[in-house]
Structure 1
């Protein structure tokens, strides 16, 4: 049996929340994207942390759902 590490919408939101991003688990991915981009405009010093999060999820041996990947790409 093969086990795949999958980053889905829930995982992504949890990781953003852990970084202090103003995101809730109830928000849709477009709402998350808008909230984080707005937050990064107000607090640009947080940008490296968001970028590191996205890079680490891409480098790890994980599968990122396409809709999550689209949001991650908006943070690059």
Structure 2
């Protein structure tokens, strides 16, 4: 039996919320993307934390859903 670590939309939002990003679980991914981009524009010191989070979620042993991966790519 193979167990895969999967990052879905909810996991992604929860991790961003834990960073202090101004997002909610109810937002769709496009709204999350806009909110995080505005947040890091206003608070550029948060950028490394967002990038580190995205890098950690994209490691070789974690599967990220494509729609989540697309949003993460916009933070690069």
Q: Does TM-score exceed 0.5, indicating one fold? A: yes
Count of residues in correspondence between the two structures: 76
State the superposition RMSD in angstroms: 0.7
Alignment TM-score, normalising by the size of structure 1: 0.98
- In structure 2, the residue matched to 1:21 is 21
List runs of 5+ in structure 2 lacking aligned partners. Answer: none
Q: Deviations over 1:33-56 (max 9, x none)?
A: 000000011000000000000001
- Structure 1 segments of 4+ aligned residues over 2 angstroms from their partners: none
List runs of 5+ in structure 1 lacking aligned partners. Answer: none
Question: Structure 2 vs 1, CA of residues 3 and 13 (structure 1 numbering), >3 Å: closer, same or farther?
Answer: same
Alignment TM-score, normalising by the size of structure 2: 0.98
